[in-house]
Structure 1
Amino acid sequence: MDYPVIVTAIFGAFVVFGGVIGYVKAASKASLIAGSITGGLLLLSAFLIARGITAGAILGIVVSLVLLSQFGPSLLKKFKVMPNLLIVVLGFITVGTLAFSFFQ
């Protein structure tokens, strides 16, 4: 079983879904666009990793770190489970999994 692919794909799906929810609940086009782009990049990363392309792991790590840099400070200011805590936890899991598999 290829854990990096699964973890990255789950994170990507959650990010896309979060962008759609942000649009539905708050009519936030920015949330929809950002969620679609970053989630799509994470899904692309999972696809590339599954194909054995090293750039997929690098892309996944970079996108995850970007999301962590956006949602981490927001979580520290205002502790909200959705979406801040979910993105931070899944982001750390994804970065750890990808970094571990990249250096193995």
Structure 2
Amino acid sequence: MNLSIIAAFAYGILAIAGGIMGYIQARSKVSLLSGSISGLLLLLAAYFQLQGQSWGSILAVIVTGVLVVVFAVRLAKTRKFMPAGLMTILGILALGVMVRN
């Protein structure tokens, strides 16, 4: 298992957990839905990478890239580090690992 798979899996878990936390704290159904969908897509991407499917890594890069942009825009609007800043930084790191491997 390479680092790209681990990065996709870990960021997917974080996306799902963040969506759940957004729902618990602010009753945001949008956070729950978007976190769940993007997290599940990243978990599927990691699974398909494990199966040797090269498009799994492409899916992981696309989903992570979209999440980085969404969280960066949210950070610029709210100026609050949590959760947008943290997810932006972790997304950039995950994206760097995915692209490098």
Question: Partner of 2:75 in structure 1?
Answer: 75
Question: Partner of 1:54 in structure 2?
Answer: 54
Letter in 2 for 1:36: S
Question: Partner of 1:17 in structure 2?
Answer: 17
Letter in 2 for 1:73: V
Report the Cα offset of residue 51 of structure 1. 1.5
Report the Cα offset of residue 12 of structure 1. 0.4
User: 4+ residue stretches of structure 1 with deviation over 6 A?
Assistant: none
**Uncovered stretches (5+) of structure 1, i.e. residues with no partner:** none
Report the Cα offset of residue 78 of structure 1. 3.0
Matches within 5 A, 1:21-100: 21-100=21-100
Report the Cα offset of residue 35 of structure 1. 0.4
- TM-score if structure 1 supplies the norm length? 0.89
Count of aligned residue pairs for this structure pair: 101
Report the Cα offset of residue 17 of structure 1. 0.3
Query: Which is further off, 2-11 or 76-85?
Result: 76-85
- TM-score if structure 2 supplies the norm length? 0.92
Report the Cα offset of residue 99 of structure 1. 1.1
**Uncovered stretches (5+) of structure 2, i.e. residues with no partner:** none
Q: CA RMSD in A?
A: 1.2
